Chain A
Amino acid sequence: MIHPLAPELRPASARDLAWLIASLVLVIAPHALRAPWWLTLLTLCLYGWRMYFVLNRAPLPSRWLVLGVAAVAMLGVWIEFRTLFGRQAGILLLMLFSGLKLLETRTHRDAAIAAFLGYFLVITNFLYTQTIPTAAAMGVALFLLTATLVGFSAPQRPARANLRTAALLLAHAAPAALALFVLFPRVQGPLWGLPQDAYAGMTGLSDTMTPGSIAGLAQSDAIAFRAEFQGESPPSAQRYWRGPVLWDFVGRTWSIGPTYLVDFVAPQGGRATYRYEVVLEPHNRHWLFALETAASLPERARMSFDGQLVANSPVRARLRYELASVIAPQPALNESAGALRRALRLPGGGFNPRAGALAAQWRAASADDAEVLGRAIAFLRQGRYVYTLEPPLLGRDSVDEFLFDTREGFCEHFASAFVFLMRAAGIPARVVTGYQGGELNPVDSIITVRQSDAHAWAEVFLAGRGWVRVDPTAAAVPGRVESGLARSVPQAAALPLLMRPQLEWLRGVRDRWEAVAHKWNVWVLGYNPERQRDLMASIGMRDADWRTLTATLFAFLGAMTLVLLAWSLKRLARPDPVQKAWRAFCRKLASRGIERAPSEGPRDYAARAAHALPVARQSILRIGALYITLRYGADATAAGVARLRQLVREFRPA
């Protein structure tokens, strides 16, 4: 157990490297699934290569060879991604460097730096996902890396003891970490521009709509947002979550077109008011979703002229906002002439002639707009249309083909056809996209809205009634709105797994899990500057600025360190029980005037005391003899120690 060199200067042994490599493998495992196969393989080969060197006691490869491997690998990454600095490419390079770093790791100090690189790789996993399972896996990796580091400082210690030390260290780190997490003054990022691909892969509604686009989105089980209502939540049929409004139609595609922001005016009247909180998943767009019709404005958001809530910056992190909505308020009866003209515009070029003719026929036969509307709804209701997630492909005249030939479609087909018909009949109309319904979790009463709840409906402008919502899908397929997507499409359709009705028990498990995941999202992942302010206010620190927070933080950390120091001292100061009992015995005798001289050994002292106190002679001599056996003898047993303590406790010098 004796070594002339300090641990950090000793060459890393096979055991230490095996620990390091095992923890690194765990850290890069999630990346390996995303990386090109050759890069994963190369990194693992570099790890294996390093193990080979240590097991065969071979000298490490020359620096030039390592640099050559690095250059080739970087070229490969460049060919794959056409950049070295994007998020994905950068992370994969980092993963590769962990292998290259190992190849120039000689001493424990080098190895420790490789372990720090491992800590760094842990955080890169969070760029992709921050779910509870990821956190748990990375927690394990963190523990192993820490145990590895402990091993570097104590190479001759059994691994088990090092694991125990690592666990103790992490347990001691936890209170400080919690304090830092809660109190560290949070700044809203980003501090500077992020790589181009930083927000790739976020799903959600788009600013355009073509036949099949929402059907594609609806096959995703991903969560769009969660809403928690104060008190009762509205019934499913009233849960229209308003998203982007599409005005402009060019043949096949609907798009938002030019838009502008207006001052918010709260709507008047209405049947019921709901107050709720939304936790919106990032979708890299400005839109916020609100139950129709929004009666308040969230922070840092405004309203567009067509009633769409718009955040000041794209939603790139999970966003929490509070909102109020009213059901069926008094409508705004006025609309600008420009907007109405825009809501009548149809593409030139003779698109959809049959639908145009039908609309003209309705117009001719009807007295007013309301009657045209009635005829259109009746037409859809009686048309035996099929609601399907896999609609047939449509050609140039998409509305005609859907209405008269294929008769199978998803909500965007119905909305698109209906708005076309209305405009062709001279009634201003627009498409509204958003989400409809959402699932009420019985565990925590939170409504979860998924991408599979994506929906499109229509709004028509009627004189004297303003903009009126019409859901052509609901007219044609009433079940869609009443009971959700799952019950309204035929069984064979490709529904997301968990939406299939047979799997009720699985849904129960999922409900419970999602209730936990929601708390995680709100309290851990959603802990941002606002949350911090709210929390501080709720514990009585109003308007806590960064100075207050920092002062509190440092006070806490200082106290924490003192507690730890006290702990370490206590462990040290804990006296030997034998000594403690003996000192108690000496005190008892001292109270009778028989004090032990500093140079007096236990045998002499006991003899003197026995002589001075003949009454207690027996027990004094027994305690003295037992103490000598336990303190200086070879076999101090726990029973003996207990016996000594008992004897001393029962000892009465009087």
Chain B
Amino acid sequence: MITRLLERHPRFSNWLYGFTPPERGTVELVHRRVYIVPARLGWFFGGTLLVLLIGSINYALSLGFALTFLLAGLGLAGMVHTARNLARIAVTAGRAEPVFAGESAQFRLFLDGRAAFDRPAVLARHLGSGSQLVVDIPPRGVAEVVLAVPAQSRGRLALGRVMLETRFPLGLFRAWSYIEPDARCVVYPRPERSPLPPFSGEAAAGALHTPTPGSDDFAGLRGYQRSDSPRHIAWKAVARSDEMLTKQFAGDAAAELWLDARLLPAGLVLEQRLSRLAGWVLAAERAGAHYGLRLPGVEIPPARGEMHRAACLQALALYQVQ
């Protein structure tokens, strides 16, 4: 009931759990942010204790009292240990690689134990999607958690609220804390397959209609540039020398392809247009073409390679997004 109440009134839960989301940089789970309540097993344990106590009184069992009280002390110590297992963990969000809409964004969280002892069985759960992982944080070490969050639509996907939870060491108590690190992932539009537009006449008047056959035409090697596609790296040559080399093809720079939103058939809504364009970007890159992107208010000059592809897709992803 309380959970439902908190869900319906986020401001109340924000106040209760003491955060002003989202937090930049490293988030430390200070004691005030770690909550603890008995878990279901804890209630069972309490029931067992009660029966043991009544039995001890009834049979006047001194060692029965001793056992009952030792177990009660164990519960108390277990509570402190459970809270300790979570307290002062420092959480840093890592970079999340862009994904296409419909895929899952892989958010990385680094849990730094910042302690001389290990912190076993720390569960990280993404509240929005329910995606979760349990990790053991080694002493003075960092554990990495990758949370897969489904990306529904293009734009920037914020990680949202993550719960860290532990029941170690006895499982009697459940300690948890909510965090909302400032982690975002770029979500490209869902690509839609469609035939590429015709090459513009600026470079190749011969007007190739289909994906450029030129890329099959090996022309020579040149030095590797960061934007080169890994598929074009001359791995054999790299193995012989230590230098990174990229294969060049005769078709390169031959055809210049403008992926222009105006080429799309009329009557498509914005998201459909962006999906088409994303599909074109992928196809053009696969074809090894020199391509540029043109949207109302956005123009990316023709180029090729991974970075160019990413720049185009990002422009589509963030088009008219605040």
Chain A residues within 8 Å of B, Cβ to Cβ: 1-8, 108-109, 112-113, 116, 119-120, 122-123, 126-127, 130, 134-135, 138, 142, 146, 149-150, 152-154, 156-157, 161, 165-166, 168-170, 172-178, 180-181, 184, 186-192, 194, 198, 316-317, 524-528, 557, 560-561, 564-565, 568-569, 571-574
Chain A residues with Cβ under 8 A from B120's Cβ? 153-154, 156-157
B249 in the interface (beta carbon within 8 A):
no
Asked if A173 and B171 make an inter-chain contact with CB atoms under 8 angstroms apart, the answer reads: no
B63 in the interface (beta carbon within 8 A):
yes
Asked if A169 and B63 make an inter-chain contact with CB atoms under 8 angstroms apart, the answer reads: no
Asked if A154 and B61 make an inter-chain contact with CB atoms under 8 angstroms apart, the answer reads: no
Taking the closest CB of chain A, its distance from the CB of B199, in whole angstroms, is: 48
B59 in the interface (beta carbon within 8 A):
yes
For the A-B complex with A8-B41, A113-B41 known, give 9 more contacts whose Cβ atoms are closer than 8 Å.
A4-B134, A119-B71, A123-B68, A161-B118, A178-B69, A181-B65, A186-B65, A187-B57, A191-B58
Q: Which 4 A-B residue pairings sit nearest by Cβ, starting from the closest? A: A173-B73, A176-B73, A180-B69, A172-B77
Asked if A1 and B135 make an inter-chain contact with CB atoms under 8 angstroms apart, the answer reads: yes
Task: State A177–B64 Cα separation when bound (angstroms).
Answer: 12
Task: State A156–B118 Cα separation when bound (angstroms).
Answer: 12
B88 in the interface (beta carbon within 8 A):
yes
Chain B residues with Cβ under 8 A from A564's Cβ? 76-77, 80
Chain B residues with Cβ under 8 A from A135's Cβ? 63, 66
- Out of B67, B80, B114, name the residue touching A172 (CB < 8 Å): B80
Chain A residues with Cβ under 8 A from B118's Cβ? 157, 161
Task: State A112–B63 Cα separation when bound (angstroms).
Answer: 23
Asked if B136 and A190 make an inter-chain contact with CB atoms under 8 angstroms apart, the answer reads: no
Taking the closest CB of chain A, its distance from the CB of B160, in whole angstroms, is: 19
Indicate with 1 or 0, residue by residue over B65-104, a CB within 8 angstroms of chain A CB atoms.
1111111111011111101100110000000000000000
Closest chain B residue, CB of each to CB of A165: B169
B133 in the interface (beta carbon within 8 A):
yes
Asked if A4 and B132 make an inter-chain contact with CB atoms under 8 angstroms apart, the answer reads: yes
Task: State A285–B207 Cα separation when bound (angstroms).
Answer: 115
Asked if B77 and A109 make an inter-chain contact with CB atoms under 8 angstroms apart, the answer reads: no
Taking the closest CB of chain B, its distance from the CB of A535, in whole angstroms, is: 14
Task: State A7–B132 Cα separation when bound (angstroms).
Answer: 12
Taking the closest CB of chain A, its distance from the CB of B316, in whole angstroms, is: 33
Taking the closest CB of chain A, its distance from the CB of B147, in whole angstroms, is: 11
Taking the closest CB of chain B, its distance from the CB of A627, in whole angstroms, is: 18
Asked if A176 and B72 make an inter-chain contact with CB atoms under 8 angstroms apart, the answer reads: yes
Taking the closest CB of chain A, its distance from the CB of B245, in whole angstroms, is: 32
Asked if A4 and B44 make an inter-chain contact with CB atoms under 8 angstroms apart, the answer reads: no
- Please list 29 pairs of residues, one from A and one from B, whose beta carbons are closer than 8 Å in the complex, sorted by A's number: A3-B133, A4-B133, A6-B132, A7-B134, A108-B171, A113-B41, A119-B48, A120-B51, A123-B55, A123-B64, A123-B68, A138-B67, A146-B170, A169-B78, A169-B170, A173-B74, A174-B70, A176-B73, A176-B77, A177-B70, A180-B73, A186-B65, A190-B58, A524-B63, A526-B62, A561-B79, A571-B116, A572-B115, A573-B88
Task: State A146–B61 Cα separation when bound (angstroms).
Answer: 22
Chain B residues with Cβ under 8 A from A112's Cβ? 41, 44, 171
Q: How large is the interface on B (under 10, 10 to 19, 20 to 34, 35 or more residues)?
A: 35 or more
Taking the closest CB of chain A, its distance from the CB of B76, in whole angstroms, is: 5
- Out of B56, B76, B169, name the residue touching A153 (CB < 8 Å): B169
Asked if B52 and A120 make an inter-chain contact with CB atoms under 8 angstroms apart, the answer reads: yes
Chain B residues within 8 Å of A, Cβ to Cβ: 31, 39-41, 44-45, 48, 51-52, 54-74, 76-81, 83-84, 87-88, 114-118, 120-121, 123, 132-136, 143, 145, 165, 167-171
Asked if B77 and A169 make an inter-chain contact with CB atoms under 8 angstroms apart, the answer reads: yes
Task: State A154–B136 Cα separation when bound (angstroms).
Answer: 8
Asked if B80 and A6 make an inter-chain contact with CB atoms under 8 angstroms apart, the answer reads: no
* Most chain A C-beta atoms within 10 Å of own C-beta, residue among B63, B84, B143, B145: B63
Chain A residues with Cβ under 8 A from B84's Cβ? 568, 571-572
Main secondary structure of the interface of B (DSSP, over half): helix
Chain A residues with Cβ under 8 A from B169's Cβ? 149-150, 153-154, 165-166, 169
Task: State A500–B11 Cα separation when bound (angstroms).
Answer: 83
Asked if B167 and A130 make an inter-chain contact with CB atoms under 8 angstroms apart, the answer reads: no
Chain B residues with Cβ under 8 A from A568's Cβ? 80-81, 83-84, 87
Task: State A166–B71 Cα separation when bound (angstroms).
Answer: 12
Chain B residues with Cβ under 8 A from A189's Cβ? 57-60
Chain A residues with Cβ under 8 A from B80's Cβ? 172, 561, 564-565, 568
Closest chain B residue, CB of each to CB of A572: B88
Asked if B88 and A173 make an inter-chain contact with CB atoms under 8 angstroms apart, the answer reads: no
Chain A residues with Cβ under 8 A from B83's Cβ? 565, 568
Task: State A178–B66 Cα separation when bound (angstroms).
Answer: 8
Task: State A152–B168 Cα separation when bound (angstroms).
Answer: 9
Chain B residues with Cβ under 8 A from A524's Cβ? 62-63, 66
Task: State A192–B167 Cα separation when bound (angstroms).
Answer: 38
Chain A residues with Cβ under 8 A from B48's Cβ? 116, 119-120
Task: State A184–B132 Cα separation when bound (angstroms).
Answer: 43
- Out of B45, B55, B136, name the residue touching A116 (CB < 8 Å): B45
Chain B residues with Cβ under 8 A from A571's Cβ? 84, 115-117
Closest chain A residue, CB of each to CB of B146: A2
- Out of A2, A175, A573, name the residue touching B135 (CB < 8 Å): A2
Asked if B134 and A2 make an inter-chain contact with CB atoms under 8 angstroms apart, the answer reads: yes
- Out of B74, B79, B114, name the residue touching A146 (CB < 8 Å): B74
Taking the closest CB of chain B, its distance from the CB of A191, in whole angstroms, is: 5
* Most chain B C-beta atoms within 10 Å of own C-beta, residue among A130, A316, A568: A568
Closest chain A residue, CB of each to CB of B115: A572
Chain B residues with Cβ under 8 A from A573's Cβ? 88
Closest chain A residue, CB of each to CB of B143: A1
Closest chain B residue, CB of each to CB of A156: B136
Taking the closest CB of chain B, its distance from the CB of A635, in whole angstroms, is: 15
Taking the closest CB of chain A, its distance from the CB of B40, in whole angstroms, is: 8
Task: State A172–B79 Cα separation when bound (angstroms).
Answer: 11
Taking the closest CB of chain B, its distance from the CB of A15, in whole angstroms, is: 15
Closest chain B residue, CB of each to CB of A562: B80
Chain A residues with Cβ under 8 A from B56's Cβ? 123
Task: State A273–B169 Cα separation when bound (angstroms).
Answer: 60
Chain A residues with Cβ under 8 A from B70's Cβ? 142, 170, 173-174, 177
Asked if B171 and A153 make an inter-chain contact with CB atoms under 8 angstroms apart, the answer reads: yes
